[in-house]
Chains A and B, each alone.
Chain A
């Protein structure tokens, strides 16, 4: 059980505090309710580029990192389709340094052309490193626009086209900041050996004066229901063929999310998952296979990815994947298997919550999607799922007309 207190400031900033007396450190997580789904289709990748620029210093504090390192702290950040999330850990004695740094850069950034130019290069190299210079690196860049035609989930966080990042100008950056970075668009979670009274006082002192801003109204087009199967084939210079399949599923907050999460674990949660057992261990068709939910706030995807063994025909491999999927539509999983994936979920949830940083991140995210208490109550949501519900969800989502398939073929495959 993770205890917490929560309160809001007058400027709309939400704060959650979790006390953990076992650690000399304190974690501070600050979540901004902005991700790549909030970008202009002509100017994608901006949320992530912006995350880089947040470390470029302000008029008051020319370097973000140095004072934090002097305080014994460390920090990082990530951006995804839904959120931009900054976090730090620091010895508890110096938590005020975290408040000073974060409130300062929430208040105003020092937008410099030089910093923008450097970070454009850094982000371009990040794009090259992650997506261009890796075998299969572009697979999800291809799968997204196949599955999403309208919703901004069709582009990845790095951007639809790296030229969007390269062409961005300071005025875009400034506008992005003032329309998304604001106390009324942020959630702070602090975890460690701290009291709520002290965190409340520090929040008032440092964040209280940051003005509420008129942030952009979110107006995201809903993805129309997919009505027919979509297929795409590419050839790349990779050693093995691969298959990627994606089905539209429910939003993160829907009841079905928990059912689908367990369903993806039945398929691929650990080596005892059905896909691994049947297709890697049993039929020896794949060298690796996985299934996961993208767990997006708007309706996201369930994705199955697999790399084929040498000499296996793509059609055979795919038919076998479909057989495993279809079995979920035809047959209620036996209670032992359901119990297994529930146990595994419970175990992973408790294991993850042993660290203050994870607890702080998780509390902030749970607040964003509705209630920080979800950090404790989600286990029950999983526990109350049964086999019938899994079969019902499979029948609802895992149907061919809701599926997009990417065949990622090796161009240098030896003749079979």
Chain B
């Protein structure tokens, strides 16, 4: 019944990615606003970023709690009214506090820009931090924490960060049950006044941007004045633990979560693009060595991946998987075997060709549409870079040699430097 074999269509070279045009406009108080005009629908994404991430916190959970409390009541509206207004104007608002930065992103129909900016101004700069809402939030978060603590993935990941960055640094702080007590509104107000200050704010606007947007931004945010910002120079040390291997038992678990990795260079380092390519070969796409071996050849897992991520003060790489409990040791051995292979044997041309093309296509996906354009720009901007970073990355994808990849594997994946955390 089968059709006669038909010839594979030619593989055509495809256009390089287009990072779009990023314009910069400065408000009177020097707040930088980046705008990216793009898209087919009248929708917008607007992001407000502050250096108010977890690494700034002097009490555990302070950065995330301050951020989550922004919509829990302002000087003008209750928490209930704020969320009702956001929903009424069809706004999807994501608050977030990551390791370095914090802030919010709003997605909405462009025609609501005026109302949305007014609301965001109120949320960011006039929060009331009511005690009742804070207590409810902390009790809720404690429940979420208790539930998350039952997941081997979470147990392993928390322990991984503690191991590679050290418990003395916010990057490595493992949240405890007792952290959920004792956050008072006054502490949040203090953190807010230090880190949610207009002098440390950046705005990224993308989508179909109405003409009056610049004026509305000026009206809402251009006349905000900086407080007398006093930020303590608080620099705990990033110091990985001596103990590289940890096994954490979890009663009743049917799978183990494995995390293997270490601190590494970030986007500012010239080797970073090469390291990202090495990472894709190892575990960064469906055809990666780890996926082929541990899922598609052995069937030990539903998925395995490796990741390289940049942080302001460091970076890290981690291989993550959940495997059948009785296959844990076998999977760990295979992970190290794949790393050694990359250190010993240069990647074959055919495999490298696949990775080059896959990653070039992925660059197109990373800049496809108004939201993706803004996200990619942001992740370069966070490190003091701009979209020329991606130009250099694209060039590296085309030109990296098998020897360079092997050398990177030897420099950055020294087996003795790797931490190995297993929960399950």
Where the two chains meet, the residues of A that have a C-beta atom closer than 8 Å to any C-beta of B are 20, 22-25, 59-61, 65-67, 69-74, 89-94, 96-97, 99-100, 107-108, 117-126, 128-129, 132-136, 206, 209-211, 237-240, 269-272, 277, 280-281, 284, 287-288, 307, 309-310, 336, 339-341, 343-344, 346-348, 350-351, 353-356
Q: Is residue B84 within 8 Å, beta carbon to beta carbon, of the partner chain?
A: yes
Given that A89-B365, A287-B140, A350-B42 are known contacts, is A70 also in contact with B13, CB under 8 Å in the complex? Answer: no
Residue contact A72 to B361, C-beta cutoff 8 Å: yes
CB of A86, distance to nearest CB on chain B (Å): 14
Residue contact B146 to A239, C-beta cutoff 8 Å: yes
Q: Is residue B190 within 8 Å, beta carbon to beta carbon, of the partner chain?
A: no
Assembled-state Cα–Cα distance A69/B291 (Å): 15
Chain A residues whose CB sits within 8 angstroms of the CB of B6 once the complex forms:
60, 100, 206
Assembled-state Cα–Cα distance A99/B298 (Å): 30
| B257-282 contacts to A (CB < 8 Å) | none
Q: Which of A73, A118, A119, A272 contacts B86 (CB 8 A)?
A: A272
Residue contact B147 to A135, C-beta cutoff 8 Å: yes
Chain A residues whose CB sits within 8 angstroms of the CB of B299 once the complex forms:
117-122, 125
Chain B residues whose CB sits within 8 angstroms of the CB of A309 once the complex forms:
139-140, 143
Chain A residues whose CB sits within 8 angstroms of the CB of B252 once the complex forms:
237
Assembled-state Cα–Cα distance A65/B251 (Å): 38
Residue contact A240 to B147, C-beta cutoff 8 Å: yes
Given that A118-B296, A343-B90 are known contacts, is A354 also in contact with B369, CB under 8 Å in the complex? Answer: yes
Residue contact A129 to B255, C-beta cutoff 8 Å: yes
| Interface size of B as a range | 35 or more
Given that A270-B83, A354-B41, A354-B371 are known contacts, is A24 also in contact with B108, CB under 8 Å in the complex? Answer: no
Q: Which of B1, B108, B142, B285 contacts A69 (CB 8 A)?
A: B285
Residue contact A65 to B302, C-beta cutoff 8 Å: no
Residue of A nearest to B286 (CB): A65
CB of B230, distance to nearest CB on chain A (Å): 34
Residue contact A72 to B357, C-beta cutoff 8 Å: yes
Q: Provide a sorted-by-A list of 18 A–B residue pairs whose CB atoms are within 8 angstroms.
A: A22-B40, A22-B369, A66-B287, A70-B357, A74-B358, A100-B8, A107-B2, A119-B299, A125-B301, A132-B254, A135-B147, A240-B146, A271-B87, A281-B79, A287-B139, A309-B139, A347-B109, A351-B43
Residue contact A128 to B324, C-beta cutoff 8 Å: yes
Residue contact B92 to A122, C-beta cutoff 8 Å: no
Residue contact B13 to A23, C-beta cutoff 8 Å: no
Q: Which of B41, B92, B286, B353 contacts A70 (CB 8 A)?
A: B353
Residue contact A343 to B89, C-beta cutoff 8 Å: yes
CB of B415, distance to nearest CB on chain A (Å): 26
Residue contact A240 to B354, C-beta cutoff 8 Å: no
CB of B176, distance to nearest CB on chain A (Å): 15
Chain B residues whose CB sits within 8 angstroms of the CB of A348 once the complex forms:
90, 92
Residue of B nearest to A131 (CB): B254
CB of B164, distance to nearest CB on chain A (Å): 24
Assembled-state Cα–Cα distance A60/B147 (Å): 48
Assembled-state Cα–Cα distance A346/B111 (Å): 13
Chain A residues whose CB sits within 8 angstroms of the CB of B40 once the complex forms:
20, 22, 354
Q: Is residue B364 within 8 Å, beta carbon to beta carbon, of the partner chain?
A: yes
| B207-263 contacts to A (CB < 8 Å) | 251-255
Q: Is residue B54 within 8 Å, beta carbon to beta carbon, of the partner chain?
A: no
Residue contact B140 to A280, C-beta cutoff 8 Å: yes
CB of A101, distance to nearest CB on chain B (Å): 9
Chain B residues whose CB sits within 8 angstroms of the CB of A272 once the complex forms:
80, 83-84, 86-88
Residue contact B322 to A25, C-beta cutoff 8 Å: no
| B302-317 contacts to A (CB < 8 Å) | 302
Q: Which of A91, A287, A339 contacts B14 (CB 8 A)?
A: A91
Residue contact A22 to B39, C-beta cutoff 8 Å: yes
Assembled-state Cα–Cα distance A30/B55 (Å): 45
Residue contact B150 to A238, C-beta cutoff 8 Å: yes
Q: Is residue B151 within 8 Å, beta carbon to beta carbon, of the partner chain?
A: yes
Known: A72-B362, A125-B300. 13 other contacts (CB 8 A): A23-B369, A24-B14, A70-B354, A94-B14, A122-B295, A129-B255, A270-B87, A284-B139, A287-B140, A288-B144, A340-B84, A343-B90, A348-B92
